[in-house]
Structure 1
Amino acid sequence: MQGKQQDIIYGLHDKPGTVACLTAAGQHMLASFVGVITPTLIISATLGLLAYTPYLISMALFVSGVGTLIQTKRIGPVGSGLVAIQGTSFAFISALLLAGTKVQNEGGSNEDVLAMLFGLTIAGAFVEVIFSLFITHLKRIITPLTTGIVITSIGLSLINVGMTDLAGGFNAEGFGSLSNLGIGVSVLLAIVFLNASNNHWLRLSAIFIGMILGTLYVFFTQGISFTHLTSLPIVAIPRPFAFGIDFDIHLFLPIALIYLFSAIETAGDLTANSLFCKEPVTGPLYLSRIRGGILGDGTNSILAGVFNTFPNTTFGQNNGVIQLTGIASRKVGCYVGAMFVLISLFPVIGGILQAIPKPVLGGATLVMFAMVAVGGLKLLASYALDRRSSLITACALGMAIGVMMVPEALALLPVWLKNILLSPVTSAGLTAVLLDLTLPGTHPAKENAAQEPINSPTSSKPSNVLP
């Protein structure tokens, strides 16, 4: 990929004209828009929060815009100063669904569910903020081995959600019908074939095109109701703590651990970003950007909880847009942030997106989630998997898959421990880190990590350009 990297037309500090900025910013929007809204669509549909979906989508877009501006402009120590697009993280979906389900099982209302999810989002974000202060002292756990395992487990944990939507959605009528499966698989294949094209624009917009084609097919053959749009307000005003906040220490622990793993992943994304922008990937400036970027992720996730949406993170897929356009200007990042904020003000956008048929959404997300897992495996495969690292990988992924397939195996554990291990991401991550620190022998990747920072463009955030 590096060998084919085109020359940078506009560097980080350059200021291209309005047309160039709008063109590049539009491509960044295209690459990240689906990723920003999809976690909200999944969480709201799974937990039965459909009445709030348009507003939640608006807030996801609003915080993504504000967060992108913070990451790009760098306000004091907060932010990387790179074109680092922010968006809702997929890594937290399984843990948030567990938390929301627990509140519902205890008789909580939809507002109680949202209050708990946003409270956990804010509390967990402080873990990432604190983590950023010690980033230079944690090189032993930030290795390609542990990062690859965490990324793979994130993808594996989400495949179940994507496949459920492809079959029609949770508790849907006609679940698994031939019609639902046919639509979902067709969307999946359309995305795959478009992504295999040599045309950069088709690759960049493959998920967008696949979802539009699938939605249009359902609209003309089965019909889609948009009656809910008439009840939506014209403008969505961001309201801090609109649903209040709540907290549960047992539900907090897995969220806190995922924030740690998300910070590790962000370090890899920002390293790739620096590399593609032809900025330093070693030295004080680089470390300052990594620290500021992780601090920015934490700060933006606090804003996410305050403004009624879910944890934010740095999106890795936008690094490909920088390569494609040759435009790495910070000014473009500001345009992207402003665009997100602008479209967030109109709830009708969220209302239209809410109407996307579940099989269409499932076909798109299944391929995204599967490629997340493949991205993690590619990162692992890029390093020699000797006997020691193979054992660590096998144990960690075995734990992740095990708790997904047989969650009742944890039924007799203390509540706090059960909630941690029920998340495949935390099970795999904890196993990988503990074994990597304690198992005798030295993995070559650890030696490399001790000498230089992570340099991996692989991301757990679904990309419109498949690896």
Structure 2
Amino acid sequence: MSNNQQAVSEMIFKLEDRPSAAKAFFAALQHLMAIFVGIVTPAIVISGAVGFSTEVSSYLISMSLFVSGVATFIQCRKIGPIGSGILSIQGTSFTFLSLCIGIGLSVKAAGGSEGEMLASIFGTCLLASPVEMIFSRFVPLLNKIITPLVSGIVVTLIGLSLIKVGLTDVGGGAWLLAHKPESFANAQNLTLAAIVLVVIILFNRSSNKWLRMGAIVFGLVAGYVAAALLGKVDFSSVSKLELIALPIPFKFGMAISWPHLIPMALLFLVTTVESMGDLTATSMVSGEPVEGELYMKRISGGILGDGINSALAAVFNTFPNTTFSQNNGVIQMTGVASRYVGYWIAGLLVLFGIFPVIGGVFSVIPSSVLGGATLIMFGTVAAAGIRIIASSIIDRRGVLIMAISFALGLGVVFVPQVLQAFPPFFKGVFSSAITTGGLTAILLNIILPRSFHEQPAAGSMEDMV
């Protein structure tokens, strides 16, 4: 029996089935448990890294939920050529997190306000989002340029770049490090991060699939409660929030950070490839075709939806969206692949998004509590990149591409002075590990001749070289 035949036989509700309202609502809640933290975390991390106020942070979280709901509806409903038409859930992408922080900090260093930082982030995202829309029309060609080796290198660099952010949160956050370094990484902060870390590990290793699925949620709740008991959670700012958060287009205006435009376009290219994998996996676990004309239409429509949804995210004041792979596990566990469940998920996300108090509760999570969770999440991103690399045969050519890409990508971060002779624009472009390493991987993958007789590398480093 093939994977698809097995998936069909295990489905309780297939793609076009319409579960009752009660069953659809319950299935939607299970998806929300798996994706909620992932949707709001980028806004929380970016807010903490660049120093946004509780009001701004809460609004960003609200818009992340709102746009994810609208984007999920578009993907599941399929409007014309836009959307996959399968149970594909959209959420805020971790891929862009490091670059968005970089844009915000560069504007802040130039004396920019909160609004100016966000205007530059969203404007740059909006201008680069057509990259994904364009490449959605050339999926077969893209497969030849962005191979698993290239996408794996970029994803690994993204994870490695974010680990510094996670570890900074573990110690108490960027603000504490800058203004009260003597209190950074004190016993209290490290203990709170450790509580979250341990709880996540314990639940993740549970034999109960529902406990595993909610491991990060349970870890954050445990850390949140512990922090509240220690008096480290200030709810006073939450009570001052407005009752309803209205999705106002371009609330913070729009600007372009030109040095970050090329890196942003590269990330949209990488996201295109990631979405191809996620949509293929969703089709497979739903018992739908993973080859042929219908499959290709769904992949192209899903990637086009990704690009348009990311543009919508920029317009409505949040960060780029992408397909979430977490829901594939929920589909497998529940046997529910009905796209009509996606309408319920979308409705609940929009509902949560228009009430700022939900974003406010998340925005006051102490940095050390958040760090305990994001350290694992960002490490997992790096591990996912390694797994993507491992899915291809690594011969001497592959090792060379990896070696040069990682060396240059991480090198410009470890020794930024190496770029001091570059003009400011190019210095801004190549100061990112993701950009330098990613562009290097793409270029080498194109120009280095392929050798079919080389064997997979093994043994010592000398043997690899």
TM-score (norm 1): 0.92
Q: Which residue of 2 aligns with 1:48?
A: 51
Which stretch of structure 1 is more off in the superposition, 217-226 or 407-416?
407-416
Q: Which residue of 1 aligns with 2:213?
A: 204
Q: Which residue of 2 aligns with 1:370?
A: 379
Q: Which residue of 1 aligns with 2:42?
A: 39
Q: 1:170 to 1:416 in 2, by over 3 A?
A: same
For structure 2, list consecutive stretches of 5 or more residues without a partner in the other structure.
455-465
Q: 1:254 to 1:235 in 2, by over 3 A?
A: same
Q: 1:170 to 1:193 in 2, by over 3 A?
A: same
Contact 2:103 2:257 (C-alpha < 8 Å) held by counterparts = no
Candidates 270, 276, 283, aligned match of 1:274: 283
Q: Which residue of 2 aligns with 1:147?
A: 151
- Return the offset for 1:2: 5.9
For 2:33, give the aligned amino acid: L
Q: Which residue of 2 aligns with 1:99?
A: 103
Contact 2:232 2:366 (C-alpha < 8 Å) held by counterparts = no
Q: Which residue of 2 aligns with 1:348?
A: 357
Structure 1 residue 248 and structure 2 residue 257: aligned? yes
Q: 1:162 to 1:145 in 2, by over 3 A?
A: same
For structure 1, list consecutive stretches of 5 or more residues without a partner in the other structure.
446-467
- 1:202-225 Cα distance to aligned partner (Å, 9 max, x none): 100000000000110111123421
Q: Which residue of 1 aligns with 2:160?
A: 156
- Return the offset for 1:248: 3.1
Q: How does 1:37-76 map to 2 (within 5 A)?
A: 37-50=40-53, 51-76=55-80
Q: Which residue of 2 aligns with 1:381?
A: 390
- Return the offset for 1:93: 1.4
Q: Which residue of 2 aligns with 1:357?
A: 366
- Residue 149 of structure 1 aligns to a residue whose secondary structure is helix
Work out the CA distance in 1 between the residues paired with 2:67 and 2:211.
28
- Return the offset for 1:175: 0.9
- 1:375-424 Cα distance to aligned partner (Å, 9 max, x none): 11122223332211122122222223222322232222233332222222
Contact 1:25 1:332 (C-alpha < 8 Å) held by counterparts = yes
For 1:154, give the aligned amino acid: I
Q: Which residue of 2 aligns with 1:171?
A: 175
Structure 1 residue 181 and structure 2 residue 224: aligned? no
Work out the CA distance in 2 between the residues paired with 1:273 and 1:351.
32
- Return the offset for 1:292: 0.8
TM-score (norm 2): 0.92
- Residue 322 of structure 2 aligns to a residue whose secondary structure is strand
Q: 1:325 to 1:384 in 2, by over 3 A?
A: same
- 1:134-176 Cα distance to aligned partner (Å, 9 max, x none): 2232221132211221221111111111110011100313111
Structure 1 residue 221 and structure 2 residue 230: aligned? yes
Q: Which residue of 2 aligns with 1:461?
A: none
Work out the CA distance in 1 between the residues paired with 2:232 and 2:112.
34
Work out the CA distance in 1 between the residues paired with 2:232 and 2:258.
45
Contact 2:281 2:328 (C-alpha < 8 Å) held by counterparts = yes
- Return the offset for 1:304: 0.6
Work out the CA distance in 2 between the residues paired with 1:367 and 1:434.
31
Q: How does 1:287-366 map to 2 (within 5 A)?
A: 287-366=296-375
Work out the CA distance in 1 between the residues paired with 2:3 and 2:368.
37
For 2:13, give the aligned amino acid: Y
- 1:401-456 Cα distance to aligned partner (Å, 9 max, x none): 222322232222233332222222222221111111111224699xxxxxxxxxxx
Contact 1:384 1:444 (C-alpha < 8 Å) held by counterparts = no
Work out the CA distance in 1 between the residues paired with 2:115 and 2:453.
49
Contact 1:135 1:291 (C-alpha < 8 Å) held by counterparts = yes
Contact 1:253 1:419 (C-alpha < 8 Å) held by counterparts = no
- Return the offset for 1:249: 2.2
- 1:251-301 Cα distance to aligned partner (Å, 9 max, x none): 212111111111111111111111111111111111111111111011011
Bigger CA radius of gyration = 2
Q: Name the Cα RMSD after superposition.
A: 1.9
Work out the CA distance in 2 between the residues paired with 1:426 and 1:293.
25
Which stretch of structure 1 is more off in the superposition, 294-303 or 132-141?
132-141
Candidates 83, 87, 108, aligned match of 2:87: 83
- 1:342-363 Cα distance to aligned partner (Å, 9 max, x none): 1111101111111111111001
Which stretch of structure 1 is more off in the superposition, 233-242 or 220-229?
220-229
For 2:332, give the aligned amino acid: Q
Candidates 137, 140, 143, aligned match of 1:136: 140
For 1:432, give the aligned amino acid: A
Q: 1:58 to 1:322 in 2, by over 3 A?
A: same
